[in-house]
Chain A
Amino acid sequence: MIFIHPKIKKLISAYLDNEVSEKEKNLVEEHLKKCTFCRKYYEGLQKLSSTLGKYKEEELSPDLEQRIKSNFLGGKYKGVAKMKNKKLIFGISSGALAILLMFVFVGHMQNYLWRSTQGRLQNSADKGGIYEIEQYSPGLPFSYEKRKKFANYNVVRQPKANAYVPSVSNSVQHSGSSKLIKENERWVTTTEGSSANWSSPELGRGRYIKPLSTEAIESAAQEGPIVIVEPYLPATGKEDKLIRNAQATLEVENIQKVYDEIVKIGKGKNGYLAAANFNESTSGRISAQIILRVPKEKFEETIDEVRKLGQVKRFDINSIDVSQDYNALVSELNTIKTVYDKIADKLKEKKTDIQQAIRLESELTPIAKRIEAIRNKISEYDNLISVSTITINLYEISWKLMIQESVKETKQRFVAFVSGLLRNSINLLPVLVIICVVGVIAIVLTKKLIRAIKNLFSKKSS
């Protein structure tokens, strides 16, 4: 086996080229005396040097020399030098472009962070107001004060319909899914299975459906945190003067059949059909509007029966409390009646002369008119209160239309998806640019590192 000392090997190469220090020179010479292998290597390199010396040098012929001379003196290579200038310009402009891109990117990122913060604050506002803001990550480039300000701004916005119902004024803080409880004339709610209209001057309007039973509500309250909201409660008091109406939108398979059923229900409840309209749209879909009037005692029963007739798309019940108006009218009627009776009594007296009688008569006429008007109004109210109005909109289920609608929806969703994708990729563009730049830098650095490590190892081994 031929063994050559690796460190000496490199020194021998430099020694042959007279590129060693005095100390190294002595070291090599000493070693060569002792080591046969290294001496052979040294001889080999000497031979190599003489072999390389056999390379025949190229000569310049006089005409070639003349050509080169005339070329460089004649400025043939001007273009090459100019190209270097072009390179410089290209380098500078691409550098400037890179800086510009960086600025765009930084601006964009700032905007993005700002917007995402806004979004998160908005979200927190939806969930329950400014109190949650303090929980937000402190890593954002905004001060607490700024964020709070933001939150205050957002909290006045209307919360999402199905989001957590926000609390009002002195309400209980809540988190998680909510349920419903009545407490000191306030409704405490969770979103599960309940909905009714409610409104708050601070937070706009929200809605939930119908109250659960008290037992269910109380047990729900024990399960987790709850929220108090001010609901719009349907009035049920028997003594109250309430006008109650309902609007229902149903999807049915056969409109004619359902129409007959509604008429039957109306008759069964001692009600009557107030109006009915049938209509066929341009797409061939048949619809109808039926107005049913039933006595107020049968209102709930009728609603329950109507709801079973088809697929309920929308259902609204509203009550208008006219007690105040009604009572005002009644007391006004009583007062005027008293005045009327007094005048009438005076008129009946035998002492009155004709002139007086005419004056009293002319006084009585407007009062009688007013009494009539009030009576009419009261009977109108009585009618509206005693008989509730149920407006039923019917739509025929059309498979053709449903397919058309689903195709349309799919189309819309696809367009939304593609445009979203495009928008996102445009948004991501600066990020991609920076990733590319960082990637290139990383590759270059890694290569350099690997080279440095290799060099280190080769140095060590030699």
Chain B
Amino acid sequence: MMEYRAGSVDALEEIFQRYKKPILNYAFKLLASFADAEDVVGEVFYILTSRKDSYEPVAKFSTWIYTIAHNVAIDRIRRRKRVFFFWQKKDKDGNSYEELDIPDTRFMPDNYAEENDISAHVKKAIDKLPFQLKEAIVLRQYHNLSYEEIANVLNCSLSKVKILIFRAKECLRKELLPYMEEIR
């Protein structure tokens, strides 16, 4: 990042290659929408390029980029809520309903191949988690961030991260209990 700040275009390319996939997956798990996740990646890199001068190497670069992604994702969710508030759609009878997201058919259990069955259940279980728990467990499980780094990203205390991850595991354990048996 410091190289990029110094003006190296190759450094940006390297950062993009290294983080495009983690950020996309992180955003996808949080937002459950591929289109949104794609936008989050774009937005994160836009912010990264436009605010490169504000980067100070006090923390790990990964923590910084995940913090940006976290903020962008939260912003997305807020905007989504606001949009639904103003544009509540109505059915034939005049009752309003919320179209929460464009369903990602690729991940629907029905369309999933047999070997991906567990993956679909895992996705469903993660989607069901409250946002904060979801974020904590995703950063820990899929992005290998330490508890301290997660605390930095979520801007909370270390003890809170411990509780969040513990609760997330408890929820997922209950949710995925039948499929865990299958592995055995």
Interface residues, chain A, with chain B CB atoms under 8 Å away:
9-10, 13-14, 17, 19, 44-45, 47-60, 64-65, 67-69, 71-73, 75-78, 80-81, 455, 458-459
Contacts and interface: CB of A to CB of B under 8 A. Distances in A.
A142 to B, nearest CB: 49
B25 A57 contact: yes
A51 B46 contact: no
B147 A77 contact: no
B65 interface: no
B119 A54 contact: yes
Given A51-B118, A72-B46, A77-B42, 15 more contacts: A10-B163, A10-B166, A13-B169, A14-B147, A47-B180, A48-B173, A48-B180, A55-B123, A55-B126, A57-B142, A58-B21, A58-B24, A58-B34, A64-B38, A81-B47
Contact of A72 (B45, B165, B173): B45
A64 B39 CA distance: 11
Given A14-B147, A58-B25, A69 B16 contact: yes
B20 A52 contact: no
Contacts of A67: 38
B96 interface: no
Nearest to A47: B180
Given A44-B180, A51-B183, A56 B116 contact: yes
A253 B146 CA distance: 101
Contacts of A73: 49
Contacts of A9: 166
A81 B179 contact: no
Contact of B140 (A17, A68, A71, A77): A17
B92 interface: no
Most buried by A among B24, B37, B142: B24
A75 to B, nearest CB: 7
A459 B166 CA distance: 12
A10 B162 contact: yes
A458 B163 CA distance: 9
Contacts, number: 106
Given A14-B147, A47-B183, A47-B184, A81 B122 contact: no
A10 B179 CA distance: 23
Interface in B133-179: 137, 140-142, 146-147, 159-160, 162-163, 165-166, 169, 172-173, 176, 179
Q: Is the interface of B mostly helix, strand, loop or mixed?
A: helix
Given A54-B122, A55-B122, A68 B45 contact: yes
Given A17-B147, A19-B147, A57 B123 contact: no
B180 A68 contact: no
A68 B23 CA distance: 12
Contacts of B162: 10, 13-14, 19
Contacts of B140: 17
Given A13-B169, A51-B180, A55-B119, A72 B163 contact: no
Most buried by B among A71, A77, A455: A77
Contacts of B126: 55
A77 B159 CA distance: 35
B25 A68 contact: no
B41 interface: yes
B20 A60 contact: yes
A197 B101 CA distance: 86
B28 interface: yes
Nearest to B49: A72
B1 to A, nearest CB: 16
A56 B180 contact: no
Nearest to B44: A72
Given A51-B179, A52-B122, A52-B141, A57 B165 contact: no
Return the 7 tightest CB-CB contacts between A and B, nearest first.
A77-B46, A72-B46, A72-B45, A71-B42, A72-B42, A13-B166, A56-B119
Nearest to B163: A458
A57 B141 CA distance: 12
B105 interface: no
Interface string B96-127: 00000000000000000000101100110010
